[in-house]
Chains A and B, each alone.
Chain A
């Protein structure tokens, strides 16, 4: 068995906080405009795709926790080295760090694009990127306790956005959902596949698991978090399908933000201006957790301090945001990243579980044989 990660109780977090970790890591930039992509494939049955994707997250998480339980107190990086040996394991670890980097980058770049498209068309990409990175560095250097705190407050303080969906509901027609299951199952599955970019984030569980104090109680908060995410996506999707006409939804890139744009209060109109800026708080946990996950892997590969790592990482992300400028490029990155993430998040953990289980049985048998001999 691989050497478990030893931690002092002060560095660890309570299991129930995983609800906020997982939920906060899942919801991010994707929700701003995932409707169009799913709708392209699954049409007005898109909500079934969302539901299927939600169920898939539960299954994958089940496998993830099973794998992690075999190893007691270890993260994905340690498990990979244990299963595949030093060389292949380290290679896979490096790949996973790269995956975290691309995930971090795509969240950052998408958010910057939203800000430029909706509020400040003239403001420099470098400025938005630099300010966001400084905030993230500040959170990261505070340690895991601060990062989990950010995700906690991110969820609590943005709860008020969800009821805003009631405004567009006044103008929606439930008939748009009918007839149910008109599209063939294949296109619905394809739609579920397109959900990948929006629904990922819960793979942070692979890394944060050793930091949980009471590992027995991990399941409940994690599955509740997945349930909450699915519920939110499902409601947003339902409202979008019933609110937009068919042609309109296909042409709207950020359908959720457009939904917000006609919300008005006696003291405020054009709610999306506030929402887009407020979204910074919602993407903060995304960015922090991917950064932190990459850091956990990096310290296994090379001897590097947290401060050096975070500055290097931010530097590359900064360069990246400047290099990638157009909508087409960003869209390509999202699509490609979504494809890769599907295999990393949805396929790989199941494979890993099978291999780990096989290996465990094999080792157990070997030990038994040795004892008999």
Chain B
């Protein structure tokens, strides 16, 4: 079954002929040049034009350039000396990135990007000096992927800061950084990062192709990009990881994965990503392997509990009383004695309330959000039981499955877990265990059908790779996990020469 996607990944973009305005040259006279810039930029209020007698004009956009270097490095240099030609002026400026441009469009584009345009009267050229300064917040701890043990720094919204963070972790000339521009109107910078000699060329090419083939007008966040370059954009399961942790990002890149960072977005994209890796946290690498294994198994259990516990309750109470042990039947029927609704309605109602609380907590300011979480949970829960619209036991089950869904280290995957519960509850309410099993088989087949950047989504379980299961839902000691995952089809298979687990003490 094939659905038509809202955007076509494979279709090549129609070749556009360069419009004429691109070829307009820079005017000789300064007045004329300024007028043409004003026309092209619709005369914005923050366009600043500064004339330095006798023959120099500076044009820039306020707050896009660094005031300090504008004063110290450019104006100070120009005021004290007299320059005849743009070439001599270029040499005199103590700025690292200075160019001479004779095309008007090019000049304006760089100016909008944060350059100062310098025009010398009588020459058909303009000097563009890049002293861009972008407003960005300071680095802070990652809020969505917090860890107890591990680095406490997250990406911020500045592309250059993020890349410098990564370069700090991976000090290696093999770290490749390709810059792409996406969005016909926003012109967002997107960086493609991978390790030369580890990452598979074919995968890098596929990803680059997917990004450059996009024809969209705006790109404001990497989550949008991730959804658009997914293998199957219509699936509810994310096929690429969004992370705000530089250490996680670097670990993935060193495994042979490809990373994408979007300017203005604090989340980086990592792909290919398998289903099991969504339940791994970077903290697992920092803990002892026994504890990491325990935590990973806990998360997997939480996933199954979260998805199937409520449906199981609904199915057992609606159709299969026989499976409930007699000793358990008494408290169950006591707690349900006053409830007027069928189990399916009861469960859906409570799930709905829990989702409401979660959504309200996420939208409200932090301080009020906490109050809503605690007070709402206790008040509504207790009141619902006392009013007799739900049973105590269901309340425990729902709370447990909600709690379990939050253990997923990936927020995206946590959302999926909470969402797929609803259709399963409905199926369980109508067709009991048969409905649950239908949903189970459907999800299994769905997961089998997915791929991430062409790599199997359920790897390393299917296709089964026994050696890689050492670092999947369990984590074996580091000497045993010296191989990179075959998921990424790495050029270099071994991370290091594996040593014996217990070296002889000398």
Asked if A228 lies at the interface with its beta carbon under 8 angstroms from chain B, I say no
CA gap between A17 and B465 in the complex, in Å: 11
Asked if A14 lies at the interface with its beta carbon under 8 angstroms from chain B, I say yes
| 0/1 interface trace, chain B 108-141, chain A, CB 8 Å (1 if under) | 0000000000000000000000000000000000
A122 CB to closest chain B CB, in angstroms? 11
Is B434 touching A152 in the complex (CB atoms < 8 A)?
no
Is A119 touching B441 in the complex (CB atoms < 8 A)?
no
Asked if A142 lies at the interface with its beta carbon under 8 angstroms from chain B, I say yes
- When distances are taken between beta carbons in the complex, the residues of chain A under 8 Å from B441 are 135, 280-281, 284
Is A153 touching B462 in the complex (CB atoms < 8 A)?
yes
Residue pairs across A and B with CB atoms within 8 Å: the count is: 90
* Closest residue of B by beta carbon distance from A278: B437
CA gap between A142 and B445 in the complex, in Å: 8
Is A273 touching B445 in the complex (CB atoms < 8 A)?
no
- Interface-forming stretch among B84-92, B321-329, B379-387? B321-329
Most chain A CB within a 10 A radius of its CB, from B319, B328, B441, B446: B441
Asked if A274 lies at the interface with its beta carbon under 8 angstroms from chain B, I say yes
- When distances are taken between beta carbons in the complex, the residues of chain B under 8 Å from A231 are none
Is A277 touching B437 in the complex (CB atoms < 8 A)?
yes
CA gap between A149 and B442 in the complex, in Å: 13
Q: Which of B432-476 contact A (CB under 8 A)?
A: 432-434, 436-438, 440-442, 444-446, 448-449, 456, 458, 461-464
Asked if B431 lies at the interface with its beta carbon under 8 angstroms from chain A, I say yes
The listed residue (B432, B445, B448) touching A135 by CB distance below 8 A is B445
A161 CB to closest chain B CB, in angstroms? 13
- Interface-forming stretch among A45-53, A78-86, A178-186, A262-270? A262-270
CA gap between A135 and B462 in the complex, in Å: 19
B326 CB to closest chain A CB, in angstroms? 8
- When distances are taken between beta carbons in the complex, the residues of chain A under 8 Å from B448 are 139, 142, 145-146, 149-150, 153
CA gap between A115 and B433 in the complex, in Å: 11
A127 CB to closest chain B CB, in angstroms? 8
Asked if B171 lies at the interface with its beta carbon under 8 angstroms from chain A, I say no
* Closest residue of A by beta carbon distance from B438: A131
CA gap between A3 and B435 in the complex, in Å: 46
Asked if A329 lies at the interface with its beta carbon under 8 angstroms from chain B, I say no
* Size class of the A contact interface (CB-based, 8 Å): 35 or more
| 0/1 interface trace, chain B 342-374, chain A, CB 8 Å (1 if under) | 000000000000000000000000000000000
B211 CB to closest chain A CB, in angstroms? 24
- When distances are taken between beta carbons in the complex, the residues of chain B under 8 Å from A277 are 432-434, 436-437
Is A138 touching B324 in the complex (CB atoms < 8 A)?
no
CA gap between A21 and B436 in the complex, in Å: 25
CA gap between A277 and B456 in the complex, in Å: 28
| 0/1 interface trace, chain B 310-331, chain A, CB 8 Å (1 if under) | 0000000001101111101000
Is B464 touching A150 in the complex (CB atoms < 8 A)?
no
Check A141/B1 contact, CB under 8 A, given A153-B444, A277-B433, A277-B437.
Answer: yes
CA gap between A148 and B444 in the complex, in Å: 12
Check A280/B438 contact, CB under 8 A, given A119-B433, A142-B448, A146-B445.
Answer: yes
* Closest residue of A by beta carbon distance from B327: A266
A162 CB to closest chain B CB, in angstroms? 19
- When distances are taken between beta carbons in the complex, the residues of chain B under 8 Å from A270 are 320, 322-323
* Size class of the B contact interface (CB-based, 8 Å): 20 to 34
Is B434 touching A119 in the complex (CB atoms < 8 A)?
yes
CA gap between A128 and B431 in the complex, in Å: 10
Is A119 touching B319 in the complex (CB atoms < 8 A)?
yes
* Closest residue of A by beta carbon distance from B458: A149
Is A17 touching B463 in the complex (CB atoms < 8 A)?
yes
CA gap between A277 and B442 in the complex, in Å: 14
Check A152/B323 contact, CB under 8 A, given A115-B434, A307-B1.
Answer: no
A117 CB to closest chain B CB, in angstroms? 13
The listed residue (A14, A138, A268, A281) touching B323 by CB distance below 8 A is A268
CA gap between A112 and B146 in the complex, in Å: 49
Is A150 touching B445 in the complex (CB atoms < 8 A)?
yes
CA gap between A172 and B122 in the complex, in Å: 107
* Closest residue of A by beta carbon distance from B439: A135
- When distances are taken between beta carbons in the complex, the residues of chain A under 8 Å from B319 are 119-120
Is B445 touching A139 in the complex (CB atoms < 8 A)?
yes
Name A's B-contacting residues (CB within 8 A): 14, 17, 115, 119-120, 123, 128, 131, 135, 138-139, 141-142, 145-146, 149-150, 152-153, 156, 264-271, 273-274, 276-278, 280-281, 284, 307
Given contacts A119-B319, A146-B449, 20 further A-B contacts (CB under 8 A): A17-B463, A119-B434, A120-B431, A120-B434, A128-B434, A138-B442, A145-B456, A149-B448, A149-B458, A152-B462, A153-B448, A264-B325, A265-B325, A269-B324, A270-B322, A273-B433, A274-B323, A276-B433, A277-B432, A284-B441
Which 4 residue pairs across A and B have the least CB separation, nearest first?
A: A277-B433, A149-B448, A142-B449, A270-B322
5 contacts between A and B (CB under 8 A): A119-B434, A138-B1, A152-B464, A268-B325, A281-B441
